[in-house]
């Protein structure tokens, strides 16, 4: 079983999401476990202070390094193996599907959730890796931690009803997922591609690959730099690009 833990000043934020839908079912089946640890438990003043003003001045408050060192050292001694410690910061490596796949292979992951203006730089010494969820700012690391847990759990055996679902999605092959449709087959003249109604699995697979390449070229052309394409697919990408420039 994969074990996730979070170190946070708001441990109550996690339970509603992780007890619902796919996450809740996977957790109840023992696919993964989760525990939130309150960082304030590793403080020693009567106010359980975890932040202070930054040296040199500046706006806001900075999270102190002492509680992080004490908490992570303590938690690392619990259990059979030391956790893989993840911090969240704009300076970290951009999170992607490959990172989710890598983390999902680990047995125990501790997600450290900062608040306020971030953490004392010395606390980053504790990180096995630092992750950035993108070039934007969140109020705290809890939402980022939930995103990491969700993306990893989906890859674990038994988490999804269809074991192929996690691999038949956007980014699984470096491409966006192909276009999908459901009933009705004709909505106000907008018809589902006939090949999807044909029952010809080989033709459907070929159409889906082409659709994935076309959608990626239109919406996320940057992803194509890492994807091996056939000559026909390169021609398709070129045509999509020319259409975009014409618009």
Q: Where along the chain do the CATH 1.10.1270.20 domains lie?
A: 186-246
Residues in Cβ contact with 188 at an 8 Å cutoff, skipping those fewer than 6 apart: none
Instruction: Tell me what pLDDT residue 79 has.
Output: 87
Residue 80 confidence (pLDDT): 87
Alpha-carbon distance 167 to 24, whole Å? 21
pLDDT of residue 197: 97
Cβ atoms of 130 and 86 closer than 8 Å: yes
**pLDDT at position 45 over 60:** yes
Tally of CA atoms within 13 A in the half-sphere of 84 that contains its CB? 14
User: Which is more confidently placed, 80 or 31?
Assistant: 31
Residue 104's nearest CA partner among 32, 23, 174, 20 is: 32
- Phi then psi for residue 43, to 5 deg, are -115, 160
Average pLDDT over residues 49-55: 96
CATH class for the region spanning 186-246: mainly alpha
Specify the residue for token string 């959730």.
113
- 2-153: CATH topology: Alpha/beta knot (3.40.1280)
> Region 166-170: what's the mean pLDDT?
61
Is pLDDT larger for residue 245 or for residue 9?
9
pLDDT of 164 above 60? no
Q: What is the C-alpha to C-alpha distance for residues 171 and 223, in angstroms, rounded to an integer?
A: 9
pLDDT > 80? residue 240: yes
- pLDDT of 111 reads 99
Q: CATH 3.40.1280.10 in the chain, residues?
A: 2-153
Q: pLDDT tens digits, residue range 101-136?
A: 999 999 999 999 999 889 999 999 999 999 999 999
Decide: 97 and 151 in contact? Cβ < 8 Å.
yes
Closest CA to 2 of 20, 18, 21: 18
Which residue(s) pair with 217 in the sheet?
none
Cβ proximity of 113 and 139 under 8 Å: no
Query: Residue 205: what are its φ and ψ, rounded to 5°?
Result: -60, -40
Q: Please give the torsion angle defined by the CA atoms of residues 45, 51, 56 and 58, in that order, rounded to the nearest 10 degrees.
A: -140
More confident of the two residues 38 and 170? 38
Residue 162 sits at the vertex; the CA angle it makes with 132 and 95, to the nearest 5 degrees, is 5
| pTM for this entry | 0.89
Predicted local distance difference test score (pLDDT) of residue 126: 98
Nearest by Cα to 115 from 23, 6, 16, 18:
6
pLDDT tier for residue 161 given thresholds of 50, 70 and 90: confident
Give the Cα separation of 9 and 38 in Å (integer): 5
Average pLDDT over residues 71-81: 95
Is a pLDDT exceeding 70 seen at residue 12?
A: yes
């Amino acid at each position: 079983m994969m074990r996730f833990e979070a170190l946070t000043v708001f441990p109550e934020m996690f339970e509603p999401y992780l007890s619902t839908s796919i996450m809740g079912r996977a957790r109840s089946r023992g696919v993964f476990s989760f525990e939130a640890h309150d960082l304030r438990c590793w403080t020693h003043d009567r106010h359980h202070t975890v932040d202070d003003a930054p040296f040199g001045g500046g706006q806001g408050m900075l999270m102190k390094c002492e509680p992080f060192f004490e908490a992570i050292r303590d938690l690392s001694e619990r259990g059979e193996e030391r956790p893989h410690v993840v911090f969240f910061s704009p300076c970290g490596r951009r999170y992607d599907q490959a990172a989710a796949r890598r983390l999902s292979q680990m047995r125990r992951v501790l997600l450290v959730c900062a608040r306020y203006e971030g953490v004392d730089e010395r606390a980053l010494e504790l990180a096995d890796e630092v992750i950035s969820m993108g070039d934007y700012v969140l109020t705290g690391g809890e939402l980022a931690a939930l995103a990491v847990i969700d993306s990893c759990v989906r890859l674990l055996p038994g988490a999804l009803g269809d074991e192929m679902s996690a691999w038949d999605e956007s980014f699984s092959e470096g491409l966006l997922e192909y276009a999908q449709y459901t009933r009705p087959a004709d909505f106000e003249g907008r018809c589902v591609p006939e090949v999807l109604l044909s029952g010809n699995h080989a033709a459907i697979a070929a159409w889906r690959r082409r659709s994935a390449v076309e959608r990626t070229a239109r919406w996320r052309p940057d992803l194509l730099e890492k994807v091996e394409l056939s000559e026909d697919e390169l021609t398709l990408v070129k045509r999509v690009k020319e259409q975009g420039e014409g618009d």
